[in-house]
Amino acid sequence: MIKVNGLEKSYHQSNVLQGIHFSVGKGEFFGIIGPNGSGKSTLLKMISGVISYDAGEILINKKEIRKYSRKELAQILAVLEQEGLPPVGFRVREVMEMGRFPFQNWLGEEAEDASTLIDEIMGMLGLNHLENRTLDELSGGEKQRVALGKALVQKPKLLLLDEPTTYLDIGYQIQLMDIVRTWQKTTQVTVVAVLHDLNLASLYCDRILMLHKGKQVNVGSPREILQSGLIEDVYGTRPIVMEHPIHHLPQIILKSGSSG
Ligand code: ADP
Ligand code: MG
């Protein structure tokens, strides 16, 4: 679904990304991790076609991303970003309807009626009772579910998430990740998610790309990437890595006094 080759990007002569190369298969849940400022959001924005790159290429379904029109891209991919919601005056239902813009003609008409789809997604996200609320009347967790809903009503082939669980408490973190995974199983959508939390990345990702200072450290399964030595090299703190007793995936435990 995605192929990235020799990708490079600089701002003001300083390299933000360099030598990035990986592929993501159809239906895969692919994670991107790395410390603050390592280039995760920049990479995601390049995959969504929002910013350009200086060298290398990104192919989506074998076609270079620069060759897609804005509308074509919007029909393939949806993005959930931290600042992705419209101004606060909009109502929840209106925001969901905005997700259908790429499929409408200039009269705002669509070939198929999307209201059933919107109902279904709002139900899945527990948003039905909030449909007439404006965005400023929602909690952080509710807003994040609305942002996810707006992305899902696009029925994307490729769903891009930039730190979708930031500011959510643990209950909502798991709920949001479970919803994405369930949706993925039913629609075969490909997911690329920048994740801050290494333990969530381990539980949900098929494979993980680790970035450090704009360079690709490694790509592999959670077991290959979440190793204490590698994490220490990249994050400057050495955690304890243990196997999850139920999921049998690596989980990290932080140690105090071990930074630097
Ligand atoms: P991450 O998402 O991993 O925290 P980013 O991709 O946001 O990192 O940023 C990577 C680096 O690129 C940072 O050093 C950041 O300051 C720099 N950067 C990002 N966007 C711009 C920009 N528009 N102009 C200049 N520098 C930028
Ligand atoms: Mg970021």
Q: Which ligand 1 atom is nearest residue 194's CA? A: 2
CA 117 to ligand 2 centroid distance, Å: 31
Which 8-state DSSP code applies to residue 237? B
- The reply to whether 115 and 16 lie within a common domain is no
Indicate the number of domains in the chain: 2
- The reply to whether 17 and 57 lie within a common domain is yes
Which 8-state DSSP code applies to residue 195? -
- The reply to whether 171 and 190 lie within a common domain is yes
pLDDT tens sequence for the chain (260 residues): 999 999 999 999 899 999 999 999 999 999 999 999 999 999 999 999 999 999 999 999 999 999 999 889 989 999 997 677 877 789 999 999 988 888 877 777 776 778 899 999 999 999 999 999 999 999 888 899 999 999 999 999 999 999 999 888 899 899 999 999 999 999 999 999 999 999 999 999 999 999 999 999 999 999 999 999 999 999 999 999 999 999 999 999 998 885 54
Give the residue whose CA is nearest to atom 19 of ligand 1: 42
Cα 257 to Cα 89: distance, rounded to the nearest angstrom? 46
- The reply to whether 167 and 148 lie within a common domain is no
Domain, as residue range, for 214? 1-76+156-222
- pLDDT score of 111: 65
- The reply to whether 51 and 167 lie within a common domain is yes
Hey, is 150 helix, strand or coil? Answer: helix
pTM: 0.94
- For the Cβ of 42 lying below 6 angstroms from any atom of ligand 1, the answer is yes
CA 132 distance to own-chain centroid: 27
Q: Comparing C-alpha atoms, which of 216, 184, 203 is closest to residue 243?
A: 203
- For the Cβ of 33 lying below 6 angstroms from any atom of ligand 1, the answer is no
* CATH number assigned to the domain comprising residue 13: 3.40.50.300
CA 191 to ligand 2 centroid distance, Å: 17
Domain boundary among 107, 131, 154: 154
